[in-house]
Structures are given as C-alpha cells and as structure tokens.
Amino acid sequence: MLLTIRTTHRPATDLGFLLHKNPARVQSFEQSFGQAHVFYPEASADACTAALLLDVDAVALVRGRRGPAGEGGTLAQYVNDRPYVASSFLSVAIASVFGSALAGRSKERPDLVTTPIPLRARIAVVPCRGGAEFLRRLFEPLGYAVTATSHPLDIANPTWGDSRYLTVELSGTKRLSELLTHLYVLVPVLDDEKHYWVGSDEVEKLLRHGEGWLGTHPERETIAMRYLCHQRSLVDEAISRLVVDEDPSIDEGAEMPGGAETQIEEPLKLNEQRLSTVVAALKAAGAKRVVDLGCGEGRLLRRLLDDRDFEEIIGMDVSHRALETASARLRLDRLAPMQRERIRLIHGSLLYRDSRLTGYDAATVVEVVEHLDPPRLAAFERVVFEFARPRVIILTTPNAEYNVRWPTLGAGTYRHKDHRFEWTRDQFQNWARALAVRFAYDVRFVPVGSDDPQVGPPTQMAVFTRTQTNV
Ligand code: SAH
C-alpha cells in the first residue's frame, strides 16, 4: 500500500517540517498490523514528495487474532487484498506516523500549517465501493480535482469488466492537515470496511475529524453510515449532532483573560460590572440551575459558586485549556463534597447539538458570540434556542459603537484579536429580536457599564425569556 503526497510550494522541502519527517532519511515505524515506512522519492526546493508505504503482515494479523471479528479459519484470512490496498490500516498509520501533521501542529513552520499549499495525493490502489463516481462525490465537494484510473478484474479476460480497485489522485490547494484528515476519514468510507470493532468512540472520532467540513458535506449521511459500519444507532447519533460544522481553530485562538481585551477594558472594571449585571439578572429570573456556555476560565462560575442561590452550575467550553484553568482557579479538587456537587465543567462546542445542555433554568453566554464565525452563528442559534432551550438566556457582547471611547483602541480594530465581529447596538438588537420571534422568547436589553449618551454602554446585554413553556 503506497500513499504519496507531493507539493510544489517553495521551498518544497518544507513538507518535511510539516510531516515531522526528515526528507533525507528513510524511517520505519512499527504498527500493530506490520510496518510503516516514510521516505521521499524527490526532495528539492521546487517539488517534494513524501511516501508512506505500509507493509501489512496478513499472516501476523491472523496469528495475533487482530483481524476483523467473526472470521473463521478460512483461506480468505490469509489471501485477501488488505496488504495491497488503502484501507482503515492507512488511517491508523496516518494518525500514528503523521499525528502532528494531522492535528495541524508544527514547531518549525507554524505559519505553514495554516496556509493552503498546492498538494497532490496519490494512492496506488483504493478499493472503492461505488466506483469512481462515488469517489468524486466524496472529494470534489471538498475542493479536490480527482483523477481515477480503473483496473480490470482480469487482464486476460477483459470482458469481465473493471474491478473495484482504483488508482486515485487528488489535487488541491489545501492545508496539509486538511488533506490528511480527509484521507483519514474517507479512505475507510470508500473501502466500506474496517479492521477493528466500531463502537461509540468512533462517533466522537468522526465528529472530531469532521470538524469544519462534514456538517456541510452533501454526502454526510453516507459518510457517517459507512464510517460507522452501518450501525444505525451510531449513525443517527452522529447525524443528529451535526447541526452545522465546528471551527477547530477556536480552541487554539481563544485565550481570554489577561489578553488584550481585558487590558483595554481594565480602567472601567467592566468585567466586574458585567458579571454583577449577569448575576443580578439570573437572580431576578429566579434561576437556580445555570449553564454557563463558553465559560472560559470560570470568572462567572466563581460568582455563581459563591452564591448559595445557585444550586447547580455547569460550565461548558470548547477549549480544554480554558477548562483546566477554570478547574484550577475554582480549586475544584479542594472543595467540600457538598460544594463540589454543585458544579461541573464539561467540554463541548456550542455549534453541536448537545443533550447535556437541556433542562436548565438559565443559560449565560458572556462575551462568546463575537468569537464565532458569522456563518456558524446559525448553528449556535439552534443549539441554544431550539435544542437546549432554557427558560432564560442571558447574552452579552461588546458594543462596537463604544470603541471610539477607548484611546488605546485603533479605529476599525476589535477589542480582542479573536473577535470575528463586534456589533453596534442596532445590529445586536435586530439580531436578538429576530431570534426571539423565531424561537418564541421575549427579549429585553440592559446596558452594562456607563451608558454614554452618544455611543451607548461598553457592553450590551440581552435577556431572553421563553414565552411558551411547553415547546
Ligand atoms: N464567558 C467567559 C469567556 C469569554 S471568552 C468570560 O466572560 O470570561 C470566549 C470563550 O468562548 C472562550 O473561552 C472560548 O473558548 C469559548 N468558545 C468559543 N467558541 C466556542 C464554541 N464553539 N463552543 C463553546 N465555547 C466556545
């Protein structure tokens, strides 16, 4: 089984830094199913090709009983296509041999990781159930030019027609991590077979690797179906959670407290005022069980924990790092048992439907929406207002009009580098009113910080209250 990846991005040998594999050497890696070798058939400044060769040991697989469950002692155990074709073994090898590149990490070339570069992947043989047409339906919507060469079933008997084996070339201007992710997920989908038992972990894996592209892929049903080996309950779970796609870059980009935003806002102690206003609104609404969405490092959670009115508190964030900091700041490991039971931190994304978020009195979304890419707002809206659907939703966001009052903030810039937008009062209120109508909530607006007669308050807050309790 041979996969080659070629780039003409200059200097092309940077491919070695992206893959964390030196172009000057041949390297071999032990795998559960045999050996993986990495080498470079060409490596110049103009063009560089990395090759991943899998030497699948079919005999060892049978001996070690690592083959698919349910096989008897048949000849097919020993004589099959697995050593020669791209299959789920390739995905396993990509994850283990090119793990950093798959995750989009490179110490030496961090900028190149996020830069689309011209790439061409060639897989010597791919078993493709559904033929070249299915192959195109998988890769063309992702922006690849696809070339497929079919191979006859038997060259001595051309009338038998073509086999299900294709030689495949995919070209596109992509980030290397994207290309590897697409291969990782879609090669087993083409093959429609997996060498290991598929359980619910695979749903998480599919959603994680599908971030940013699977939610909008026209073949997402078939991809999930085949990736999850036709297990209907797993497929249903995966599909129901794909409201829209997720932005993986958020996890990396969103360090908040101590960052530029806090410094700009510092003189006003705006953050303290914001938290007090949110807590007051929660208390006025009689909320006892609260979920803080995009809780960050837990500043609001601290306030809630210190107030006995709040009986159950959940903090949710997409960033593992933020949750770890929150856990440390709240000293969760040192809380008395009764206190400890009141609070829970969960990892999740506001762009995926999540049953753990249903059934709370109130949700708070403090300084989070402006971190979402505008095309993803629609998913956020449904996740919070349609699926989680708490009685009260309290949402804050910067008021862009106020920025002129901050001497340190240049014209046309945002308060934080990770902000995707900042809204004027009109923009925010129009958005919030439309949401309220669409999802049957009432909405009122509360200024946070001093309400400037010309430009309004530095932070704007909307309090949504559900109008129909039975929907
Ligand atoms: N509410 C906190 C943090 C605000 S910063 C506070 O006021 O201090 C924005 C937070 O939103 C970050 O912690 C970021 O990780 C989180 N976030 C961004 N996109 C998210 C998503 N899709 N799902 C969940 N959290 C997200």
Give yes or no for residue 275 having a pLDDT over 80.
Answer: yes
DSSP notation for 12-44: TTHHHHHHT--TTS-EEEEETTEEEEEEEEEE-
Interatomic CA distance for residues 116 and 122, integer angstroms: 18
Q: Dihedrals φ, ψ of 35, to 5°?
A: -120, 145
Give yes or no for residue 453 having a pLDDT over 60.
Answer: yes
Interatomic CA distance for residues 113 and 106, integer angstroms: 7
Q: Dihedrals φ, ψ of 121, to 5°?
A: -105, 140
Which are the contacts of 27, defined by CB distance < 8 A and separation ≥ 6? 21, 37, 38, 39
Interatomic CA distance for residues 461 and 433, integer angstroms: 13
170 within ligand 1 shell (Cβ under 6 A): no
CB 417 within 8 A of CB 260: yes
User: How far, in Å, from the CA of 321 to the mean position of ligand 1?
Assistant: 11
Helices (H), 157-269: 176-191, 201-209, 220-227, 232-241, 249-253, 260-265
pLDDT for the residue 469: 58
DSSP notation for 53-83: EEEE-HHHHHHTT-S-TT--S-HHHHSSSTT
Segment of 71-75, 232-236, 290-294 carrying the highest mean pLDDT: 290-294
pLDDT for the residue 264: 59
User: How far, in Å, from the CA of 362 to the mean position of ligand 1?
Assistant: 17
pLDDT digits (tens, 9 = 90+) for 85-143: 888 889 999 999 999 999 998 888 888 999 999 999 999 999 998 889 999 999 999 99
pLDDT digits (tens, 9 = 90+) for 218-255: 788 899 999 998 888 888 888 777 764 333 333 333 34
Interatomic CA distance for residues 83 and 196, integer angstroms: 15
Confidence of residue 268 (pLDDT cuts 50, 70, 90): low
Residue closest via CA to ligand 1's atom 10 equals 294
Query: pTM of this prediction?
Result: 0.55
> Of the residues 314, 320, 371, 448, which should be mutated to test ligand 1's pocket, given the most ligand atoms within 8 Å of the CB?
371
At 148 the three-state DSSP class reads strand
Residue closest via CA to ligand 1's atom 3 equals 296
Give the total residue count for the chain: 471
295 within ligand 1 shell (Cβ under 6 A): yes
Rounded to 5°, the CA angle 134-135-136 comes to 90
Give yes or no for residue 260 having a pLDDT over 60.
Answer: no
398 within ligand 1 shell (Cβ under 6 A): no
User: How far, in Å, from the CA of 160 to the mean position of ligand 1?
Assistant: 58
Q: For residue 130, what are its two tokens? A: 């559904």
User: How far, in Å, from the CA of 117 to the mean position of ligand 1?
Assistant: 30
371 within ligand 1 shell (Cβ under 6 A): yes
323 within ligand 1 shell (Cβ under 6 A): no
